């Protein structure tokens, strides 16, 4: 049993695949965070534009 545990802990096969997977996960999280921040900013700008257009149309179409 001890030989099996030692063999598993010293086995280096597959480590680079795990490392690449972790790097890809970190890159994905960074991209997801950036897209989320960009979406929030874009939503704020579109809401502001909508308010301005609505206010302008109300002022121009008074009876």
| This prediction's pTM | 0.56
Domain count for the chain, please give it. 1
Quickly list DSSP for 18-58. HHHHHHHHHHHHHHHHHHHHHHHHHHHHHHHHHHHHHHHHH
Residue pLDDT, tens place only, 3-58? 888 887 777 777 788 889 899 999 999 999 999 999 988 999 999 999 999 988 88
14 φ/ψ angles, rounded to the nearest 5 degrees: 85, -5
pLDDT recorded at residue 43: 92
The confidence score (pLDDT) of residue 28 equals 96
The domain containing residue 1 runs over which residues?
A: 1-61
Close Cβ partners of 13 (under 8 Å, ≥ 6 residues apart): none
């Amino acid at each position: 049993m001890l030989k099996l545990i030692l063999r598993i802990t010293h086995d280096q096969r597959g480590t680079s695949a795990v490392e690449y997977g972790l790097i890809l996960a970190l890159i994905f999280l960074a991209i997801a965070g950036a897209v989320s921040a960009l979406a929030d900013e874009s939503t704020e700008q579109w809401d502001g534009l909508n308010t301005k257009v609505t206010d302008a149309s109300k002022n121009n179409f008074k009876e």
